[in-house]
A and B are shown apart, each in its own frame.
Chain A
Amino acid sequence: MRILPWRHPVLENPEQVAEQFDDKAQERDAASLGMWVFLLTEFLFFGVLFACYTIARVLYPDAFAAASSHNDLILGTLETTVLLTSSLTMALAVHSAQHNHRKLTSLYLLITIGFGIAFLGIHSVEYYKHYQEQLMPGINFTFADENTDQVELVFFLYYVMTGFHMLHVLIGVIELGVIAHLARRGVFSESYYAPVEMSGLYWHFVDIIWIYLFPLFYLVS
Chain B
Amino acid sequence: MKEKNAPDVKTFFTVWLALMLLLILTVASTYLPIGHFHVVANIGIAAVKMLLVILFFMHIWYRRSLIRFVSFTAFFWIILLLGLTLVDYLTRPIITPPW
A47-B77, A58-B90, A77-B23 known; A92+B9 contact, CB < 8 A: yes
Main SS of the interface on chain B? helix
- From A13-21, A37-45, A128-136, give the one contacting chain B: A37-45
Interface size on A, residues (CB 8 A): 45
The interface centre, meaning the residue of B45, B57, B66 with most chain A CB atoms within 10 A of its CB, is B57
B: interface residue count bin: 35 or more
Find residues 24-50 in chain B having any chain A CB closer than 8 Å to their own CB.
26-27, 29-30, 38, 42-43, 45-46, 49-50
- Write out the residue numbers on chain B whose beta carbons fall within 8 Å of the beta carbon of A214: 46
- Determine if B23 and A84 form an interchain contact, defined as CB atoms under 8 angstroms apart: yes
Partner of A204, one of B20, B38, B57: B57
Report A55 CB to chain B, min CB distance, Å. 6
For the complex, what is the distance from the CA of A33 to the CA of B78, rounded to whole Å? 19
- Determine if A55 and B67 form an interchain contact, defined as CB atoms under 8 angstroms apart: no
For the complex, what is the distance from the CA of A95 to the CA of B56, rounded to whole Å? 12
Find residues 31-84 in chain A having any chain B CB closer than 8 Å to their own CB.
32-33, 36-37, 39-40, 43-44, 47-48, 50-51, 54-55, 58-59, 73, 77, 80-81, 84
Is A29 part of the contact surface with B, judged by Cβ < 8 Å?
A: yes
- Determine if B16 and A54 form an interchain contact, defined as CB atoms under 8 angstroms apart: no
- Determine if A81 and B23 form an interchain contact, defined as CB atoms under 8 angstroms apart: yes
- Write out the residue numbers on chain A whose beta carbons fall within 8 Å of the beta carbon of B16: 84-85, 87-88
Partner of B77, one of A36, A39, A44: A44
Partner of A50, one of B63, B66, B82: B82
Is A211 part of the contact surface with B, judged by Cβ < 8 Å?
A: yes
- Write out the residue numbers on chain B whose beta carbons fall within 8 Å of the beta carbon of A197: 59
Report B13 CB to chain A, min CB distance, Å. 7
- Determine if A39 and B63 form an interchain contact, defined as CB atoms under 8 angstroms apart: no
For the complex, what is the distance from the CA of A161 to the CA of B58, rounded to whole Å? 23
What are the 4 closest A-B residue pairs judged by CB atoms, nearest first? A215-B42, A43-B74, A88-B16, A91-B57
Give me 19 other A-B pairs in contact (C-beta within 8 A), A95-B9, A211-B46 excluded.
A29-B67, A33-B70, A39-B74, A43-B77, A47-B77, A47-B78, A47-B81, A50-B82, A58-B86, A59-B89, A84-B16, A84-B23, A88-B12, A90-B57, A95-B7, A201-B58, A215-B46, A220-B38, A221-B30
